[in-house]
């Protein structure tokens, strides 16, 4: 299946290579560089590249290209999903999956890759299992290791490997037993010029941080599970219980994990919590333009909208912007042509406004299209779909855990067309 893996940074250096079968010369990456050059933007590099003898399947994460080499038929998503899993594992181990982190921990990275794939076929991808085999680096451990000479490689088979619940290791112990759940909802929307919704939907995830001793069996129920239109679960969730009773019943992995993701059907009208009034126009003569944007809160259920950030990809001919915000700060990068307006909290009384003039390249024709606005925001203590966790019960263990649920609503791909 997966033959080799090359990690390539944005400068085009191959800074790590790993082969699971015979060695493949790194010159195979030249085909990748060719495709990369043709694509321009890293986003536009085709995920699957065909070369005379191999196929290159790549992903782009944290400014690193993970390029895998394939020789025979394999589902492309299989490889893509696996590569993302690798990137996530790095993040889990080192806090970030950046080039620096990988270079600093190259031996652990190598050991990890060795365990994750055998002959190109995934062997262990559960973080709990891997962490028993290869302990994540901590300052304390490295100090202890140098003194005692003990290693950070496990000597016995991880307990999870053999059990029916491979995601959880046995013998977990905590002094404070706690289980926290974050319900994070994102609104994906496209609004048109007049502010009417072209398309809107809510995507949500429930992130969990569970630190409980022993083998707890949890049951999470919702006040209104009917809201959920489409769900996908962490393997620990018992799908049959969900189908019959609409409760999440699971033996949780230890630590942080994503319990489920869901989609709220479009039939339940999505309340758009902000509105935008914009007027961007370019004059026929004088190579200049005007920009006037106002953002205001709408249907926020009494909560404040925070961290509002407006991003505009300006047409290429815009040289500079001379604007005055009534709130927050703005920056315009003349190289990437990105205008960013960081507003912060939305205030009901005084609506933030950004107004001023844009100057165009002299002599250039006025751009035909208006740039679209991408908006980010965050609302604490609110799940915009109205989803509510009813209760969390624990079976199988005697102690009483601390429990908590937090709700956040964010803007996902929130775009206003102009």
Partner 1 sequence: MSASSAFNDEKGGSSSVGEPEYGHDPASGGIFSSDYKRHDDLKEMLDSNKDSLKLEAMKRIVAMIARGKNASDLFPAVVKNVACKNIEVKKLVYVYLVRYAEEQQDLALLSISTFQRGLKDPNQLIRASALRVLSSIRVTIIVPIMMLAIKEAASDMSPYVRKTAAHAIPKLYSLDPEQKDQLIEVIEKLLADKTTLVAGSVVMAFEEVCPERIDLIHKNYRKLCNLLIDVEEWGQVVIINMLTRYARTQFLNPNINESLLEESGEKAFYGSDDEEGKEEKADAAALAKRKPYVMDPDHRLLLRNTKPLLQSRNAAVVMAVAQLYFHLAPKAEVGVIAKALVRLMRSHSEVQYVVLQNVATMTIKRRGMFEPYLKSFYIRSTDPTQIKVLKLEVLTNLANETNISTILREFQTYIKSMDKDFVAATIQAIGRCATNIGEVRDTCLNGLVQLLSNRDELVVAESVVVIKKLLQMQPEQHSDIIKHMAKLTDNIQVPMARASILWLIGEYCEHVPKIAPDVLRKMAKTFTNEEDIVKLQIINLAAKLYLTNSKQTKLLTQYVLNLAKYDQNYDIRDRARFIRQLIVPTDKSGALSKYAKKLFLALKPAPVLESPFKDRDHFQLGSLSHLLNTKAGGYQELPDWPESAPDPSVRNVEVPEWTKCTSREKRKDKKVEKPFYSDSEGESGPTESADSESDSGSASESGSESGSGSEESGSESGSEESEEDSESEEEERDEEEEKKKRKKRPERSGSESESEEEEESESESSESESESEEESESETDSKKTKKSKKEKKEISLLDLDDFETTPIEVTPVNNFLSNSLVTDLEGLSLTDTVMNPTTIAPSGAVKTYELLHRITGEGLAVEYCFSRQPFGPDPHMVAVQIQFTNNTSSETKNLHMEEPKLLSGMRIKEFPEIEVLPPGESATVVMGIDFCDSTQAANFQLCTHTKKFFVSIQPPVGELMMPVFLTENEFKKEQGKLMGMNEITEKLTLGEKCQSDHAIVQRVTSAANVSRVPCGSDKECRFAGKTVTSGSLVLVTVVTKEERAAQLTVNCEKMVIGTMLVKDILQALTQ
Contacts of partner 1 in 182-221 (CB under 8 A): 188, 190, 192, 198-199, 201, 203
Nearer to partner 1, 148 or 175 (CB): 148
Taking CB under 8 A as the binding criterion, the range among 171-179, 230-238, 297-305, 338-346 that sits at the site for partner 1 is: 230-238
Least distance to partner 1, CB of residue 400, Å: 30
Taking CB under 8 A as the binding criterion, the range among 47-55, 170-178, 321-329, 386-394 that sits at the site for partner 1 is: 47-55
Taking CB under 8 A as the binding criterion, the range among 5-13, 216-224, 282-290, 390-398 that sits at the site for partner 1 is: 5-13
Nearer to partner 1, 256 or 261 (CB): 261
Tell me which of 34, 48, 141, 301 binds partner 1, using CB under 8 A. Answer: 48
Least distance to partner 1, CB of residue 263, Å: 6
If one asks whether residue 109 binds partner 1 (CB under 8 A), the answer comes out as yes
CA dist., res. 218 & res. 252, Å (int): 7
If one asks whether residue 104 binds partner 1 (CB under 8 A), the answer comes out as yes
If one asks whether residue 304 binds partner 1 (CB under 8 A), the answer comes out as no
Question: Could you tell me which residues come within 8 angstroms of residue 277 by beta carbon, excluding any fewer than 6 positions away?
Answer: 195, 292, 293, 294, 295, 296
Site string for partner 1, 115-134 (x = CB under 8 A): ---xx-xxx-x---------
Q: Residues binding partner 1: what is the number (CB under 8 A)? A: 105
Nearer to partner 1, 105 or 353 (CB): 105
If one asks whether residue 365 binds partner 1 (CB under 8 A), the answer comes out as yes
Least distance to partner 1, CB of residue 170, Å: 15
If one asks whether residue 27 binds partner 1 (CB under 8 A), the answer comes out as yes
Least distance to partner 1, CB of residue 133, Å: 9
Least distance to partner 1, CB of residue 17, Å: 5
Q: Are strands 178-191 and 402-416 parallel, antiparallel or unpaired?
A: parallel
Tell me which of 170, 223, 266, 301 binds partner 1, using CB under 8 A. Answer: 266
If one asks whether residue 103 binds partner 1 (CB under 8 A), the answer comes out as yes
Tell me which of 52, 139, 146, 175 binds partner 1, using CB under 8 A. Answer: 146
If one asks whether residue 263 binds partner 1 (CB under 8 A), the answer comes out as yes
Tell me which of 91, 98, 159, 161 binds partner 1, using CB under 8 A. Answer: 161
If one asks whether residue 413 binds partner 1 (CB under 8 A), the answer comes out as yes
If one asks whether residue 230 binds partner 1 (CB under 8 A), the answer comes out as yes
């Amino acid at each position: 299946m997966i033959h080799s893996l090359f990690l390539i940074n944005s400068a085009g250096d191959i800074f790590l290579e790993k082969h699971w079968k015979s060695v493949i010369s790194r010159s195979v990456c030249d085909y990748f560089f060719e495709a990369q050059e043709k694509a321009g933007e890293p986003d536009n590099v085709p995920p699957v590249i065909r070369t005379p003898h191999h196929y290159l399947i790549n992903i782009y994460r944290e400014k690193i290209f993970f390029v895998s080499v394939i020789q025979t038929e394999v589902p492309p998503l299989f490889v893509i999903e696996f590569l993302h899993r690798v990137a996530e594992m790095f993040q889990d181990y080192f806090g970030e999956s950046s080039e620096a982190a990988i270079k600093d921990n190259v031996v652990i990275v190598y050991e990890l890759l060795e365990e994750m794939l055998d002959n190109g076929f995934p062997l262990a991808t559960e973080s709990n299992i891997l962490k028993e085999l290869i302990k994540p680096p901590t300052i304390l451990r490295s100090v202890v290791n140098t003194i005692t000479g003990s290693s950070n490689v496990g000597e016995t088979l991880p307990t999870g490997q053999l059990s029916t619940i491979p995601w959880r290791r046995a013998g977990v112990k905590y002094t404070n037993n706690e289980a926290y759940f974050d319900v994070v909802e994102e609104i994906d929307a496209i609004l048109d010029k007049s502010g009417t919704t072209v398309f809107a939907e809510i995507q949500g995830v429930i992130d969990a941080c569970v630190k409980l001793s022993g083998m707890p069996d949890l049951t999470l129920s919702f006040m209104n599970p009917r809201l959920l239109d489409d769900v996908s679960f962490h393997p620990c969730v018992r799908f049959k219980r969900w189908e019959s009773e609409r409760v999440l019943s699971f033996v949780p992995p230890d630590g942080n994990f994503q319990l489920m993701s869901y989609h709220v059907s479009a039939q339940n009208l999505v309340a758009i919590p902000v509105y935008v009034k914009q007027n961007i126009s370019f004059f026929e003569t004088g190579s200049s333009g005007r920009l006037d944007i106002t953002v205001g809160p709408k249907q926020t259920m009494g909560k404040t909208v925070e961290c509002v950030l407006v991003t505009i990809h300006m047409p290429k001919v815009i040289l500079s912007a001379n604007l005055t915000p009534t709130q927050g700060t703005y920056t315009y990068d003349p190289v990437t042509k990105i205008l960013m307006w960081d507003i912060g909290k939305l205030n009901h009384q005084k609506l933030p406004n950004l107004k001023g003039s844009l100057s165009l390249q002299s002599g250039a024709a006025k751009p035909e299209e208006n740039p679209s606005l991408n908006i980010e925001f965050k609302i604490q203590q609110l799940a915009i779909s109205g989803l509510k966790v009813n209760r969390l019960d624990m079976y199988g263990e005697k102690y009483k855990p601390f429990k908590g649920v937090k709700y956040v609503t964010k803007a996902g791909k929130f775009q206003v067309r102009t």
